[in-house]
Chains A and B, each alone.
Chain A
Amino acid sequence: MPVITYREAIRHALAEELERDPNVVVMGEEVAQFNGAYKVTEGLLAKFGPKRIVDTPISEAGFIGMGVGASMLGVRPVMELMFWSFYSVAFDQILNNAANLRYMSGGQINVPIVIRGPANGGTNVGATHSHTPENVLANHPGVKVVVPATPYDAKGLLKTAIRDNDPVMFLENTILYGDKGEVPAEEYLIPLGKADIKRAGTDLTIVTYGRSVIHSLQAAEILQKEHNRSVEIVDLRTIRPLDIDTVLASVAKTHRVLIVEEQKPFASVGSQLAYMIQREAFDELDGPIHRLTTVDSPAIYSPPVETEQLPNPNRVLKAALEALA
């Protein structure tokens, strides 16, 4: 099976969907001529031309709103935010317009837009460029939120997202772009709202998504080798809709839960998960639900300190041992 990078996986997904559906358009800052700020869209302009791959001026509210408007007429825009941190500039267009148009019109309209881009810290780009807004987005009924951790997941989920008739927020990670993984050459789709057990185990359930999955896998290795504890890792893959049943089944198996998320603590995705787990699997819990998050302050610049601010394999290991106590 071919081994490609996460970046390539996304590119292939875009190319395949551009090929398949003439309504699909890729738009964003530097996506065309520059070949993408993170080279995700490299080569697409050459292949599909300037009508399908469109460079926008820096005006997130303008071009995201424009994409929403065009989608009402059946265009299927895949809008890139160079950093998901820039969503706040287009907040009104995303979370008032894209999220609510169907509802406010009583179901007469749908907005089949995808907004994608990297949402992560860990690259020392400072407090305004390091946001991970999946919790904010998921808080809005009307949108769907996807956070893939591997090349395989990224490709399958992006294709599904582009074909989805609702607005889908697709959150990638600049640090994951270079990760390699097996990705079938044949076409495949991954449904939204389906979690994936990245590692089966019996003593502890780690519920996580995105880059935290990778950290958790590394910690799980150490937990097995050095502590003889068997950890099950549930990769949510989609935040909304949420595959809570897979999570609950895992909790029923292990009775211990650790949530690992690159999120600031207050009202994070994990907050919602913890509520649901204790509410629906109360009697399965052999201990309180633990959570490992980003340390609660704006993202720091200083590189070694930022590493400790975010979840990392060491922090996951420590948190897992506490959760197993």
Chain B
Amino acid sequence: MSNKSNATPAKQDAAPAVGTPQSHLAPINANLSKEAKVGLYRTMVRIRRFEERSLRAYQAKKIGGFLHLYIGQEAVAVGCCSLMGANDHVITAYRDHGHAIAVGMDLNALMAEVYGKATGCSKGKGGSMHYFDPSRNFWGGHGIVGGQIPLGVGLAYGVKYKGLKGASMAFMGDGAVNQGAVHESYNLAALWNLPVVFVIENNRYSMGTSQERSSAGFGLAERGRAYGMAWGTCDGHNVYDVRATMDKFLKLARDESKPSIVEVDTYRYRGHSVADPDKTYRTRGEIEDYQNTKDPISLFQKTLLDEGVLTDALIEQIDTEARAEADRSADFAEASPYPTVEDLQKDVYWEVDNPAQKTSQGRIFFS
């Protein structure tokens, strides 16, 4: 990833072309069953349709606050999360819908959450930026840029402390790489050999500021060299490439307890958030170019058609089902109740929520 030019970024490592035979032949991909491949494709489509349905809901004022859409980046979350083992963990920033769906969270709970309903996955208390599912080793959904990275290091620390074989994938955007907490995290991970893979989803823009205007020095992942960390890059529009690359670094983490930084080249079609007037920093043409030539779903669709895994009928069916599922989630959210004012002070303290085991006294809430 050169940081010197505004044109299509050139990578230091060999830039995988669309559907390069290399990654699709890597065992991690070649050994996938047909069903598994269809599964990858289906998950990407489901993410896309869910995001589109969310946008519609937001514009209909069903959703308040922020909505950061993952449209265009589906291959990254799907590729990474599809590699998760029992002791692997995922944590990301606020563009978290893709990761949530990729780890298998229920769309009803996800939509209800952005609708602010009590049936949401965070009981309506978190919103779009705060999807969590510890049972699926998914630790959110975080609002402060870069704030989740030390937590990701902590997850790796916890895995190692418990003597387990696993890795923590700590996702961030290209805008987070300059936060102090991120550098501190790199240092801790490298110093203590913690099994964390720092995944930089570089969609080229940190809100309205391009990577070129934000980051000095080495390429974003290459900064790992300063800490003696392994690093790499991959093509985020190609789910096979994501899988093949991440597999290497995940094994490094799991087997050798070594951290790494992986920069994933990707792109978002929508603004930073749905309220973002993105005309100020990029052209319509650029977006269309990506949509036409680099859309990860289109690319994988073609790949699977070529492999004979997908048929037009199946593609149609998957799409219809995905739309229906997204619609159903909106209906579910619509019909669900809001939390009550009494719910405000639940889920704040473990002790208050578990009164049988409470040992503290005194007044814990005030008015």
A235 to chain B, nearest CB (A): 13
Complex alpha-carbon distance, A72 and B139, angstroms: 9
From the candidates A62, A101, A241, name the one contacting B185 in the complex (CB within 8 A). A62
In the complex, what residues of A have CB within 8 A of residue B207's CB?
none
B360–A72 contact, CB under 8 A?
no
A164–B134 contact, CB under 8 A?
no
> Would you give the 0/1 interface string for A154-180, flagging 1 where the beta carbon is closer than 8 Å to chain B?
000000100111100000000000000
Complex alpha-carbon distance, A103 and B349, angstroms: 8
Q: A69-B157, A70-B158, A107-B123 are in contact. Are A61 and B364 (CB under 8 A)?
A: no
B181–A105 contact, CB under 8 A?
no
Within 8 A of A (CB), among B184-223: 184-185, 187-188, 191
B178 to chain A, nearest CB (A): 14
In the complex, what residues of A have CB within 8 A of residue B359's CB?
160, 163-164, 189, 191-192
Question: Quick one: which of B124, B184, B346, B354 has the most chain A CB within 10 A?
Answer: B184
Q: Interface size class for chain B? A: 35 or more
A191–B361 contact, CB under 8 A?
yes
Within 8 A of B (CB), among A223-243: 238, 240-243
A72–B158 contact, CB under 8 A?
yes
Residue of B nearest to A160 (CB): B359
Within 8 A of A (CB), among B133-169: 133-134, 139-144, 147, 149-155, 157-159, 161-162
B364–A93 contact, CB under 8 A?
no
B276 to chain A, nearest CB (A): 23
Q: A59-B184, A70-B158, A106-B125 are in contact. Are A142 and B150 (CB under 8 A)?
A: no
Complex alpha-carbon distance, A189 and B360, angstroms: 11
B153–A244 contact, CB under 8 A?
no
Question: Quick one: which of A97, A105, A112 has the most chain B CB within 10 A?
Answer: A105
B130 at the binding interface (Cβ < 8 Å): yes
B188–A72 contact, CB under 8 A?
no
A107–B158 contact, CB under 8 A?
no
In the complex, what residues of A have CB within 8 A of residue B142's CB?
97
Q: A102-B349, A105-B134, A164-B351 are in contact. Are A62 and B364 (CB under 8 A)?
A: no
A110 at the binding interface (Cβ < 8 Å): yes
In the complex, what residues of A have CB within 8 A of residue B281's CB?
none
Q: A102-B349, A106-B121, A108-B133 are in contact. Are A69 and B154 (CB under 8 A)?
A: yes
Complex alpha-carbon distance, A191 and B142, angstroms: 33
B149–A65 contact, CB under 8 A?
yes
Residue of B nearest to A72 (CB): B139
Q: A66-B150, A104-B132 are in contact. Are A243 and B361 (CB under 8 A)?
A: yes
A96 at the binding interface (Cβ < 8 Å): yes
A84 at the binding interface (Cβ < 8 Å): no
Complex alpha-carbon distance, A57 and B153, angstroms: 14
How many A residues have CB within 8 A of the partner chain?
Answer: 58
In the complex, what residues of B have CB within 8 A of residue A106's CB?
120-126, 132, 347
A241–B363 contact, CB under 8 A?
yes
Complex alpha-carbon distance, A102 and B351, angstroms: 11
A73–B132 contact, CB under 8 A?
no
In the complex, what residues of A have CB within 8 A of residue B364's CB?
144, 193, 240-242
B122–A104 contact, CB under 8 A?
yes
Complex alpha-carbon distance, A137 and B188, angstroms: 26
B157 to chain A, nearest CB (A): 5
B365–A141 contact, CB under 8 A?
yes
B285 at the binding interface (Cβ < 8 Å): no
In the complex, what residues of B have CB within 8 A of residue A71's CB?
154, 158
B21 at the binding interface (Cβ < 8 Å): no
B362–A241 contact, CB under 8 A?
yes
B255 at the binding interface (Cβ < 8 Å): no
Q: A57-B187, A97-B151, A105-B122 are in contact. Are A92 and B181 (CB under 8 A)?
A: yes
B126–A70 contact, CB under 8 A?
no
Within 8 A of A (CB), among B319-348: 345-348
In the complex, what residues of B have CB within 8 A of residue A144's CB?
349, 360, 364
Complex alpha-carbon distance, A297 and B350, angstroms: 38
A64 at the binding interface (Cβ < 8 Å): yes
A289 at the binding interface (Cβ < 8 Å): no
> Would you give the 0/1 interface string for B205-244, flagging 1 where the beta carbon is closer than 8 Å to chain A?
0000000000000000000000000000000000000000
Complex alpha-carbon distance, A75 and B164, angstroms: 13
A interface list, Cβ under 8 A from B: 25, 51, 56-57, 59, 61-75, 92-93, 96-97, 101-110, 112, 141-142, 144, 160, 163-166, 189, 191-195, 238, 240-245, 272, 276
Closest 5 CB pairs of A and B: A69-B154, A65-B150, A62-B184, A193-B362, A73-B158
7 A-B pairs with C-beta separation under 8 A: A63-B150, A69-B150, A93-B150, A106-B132, A109-B139, A141-B348, A241-B361
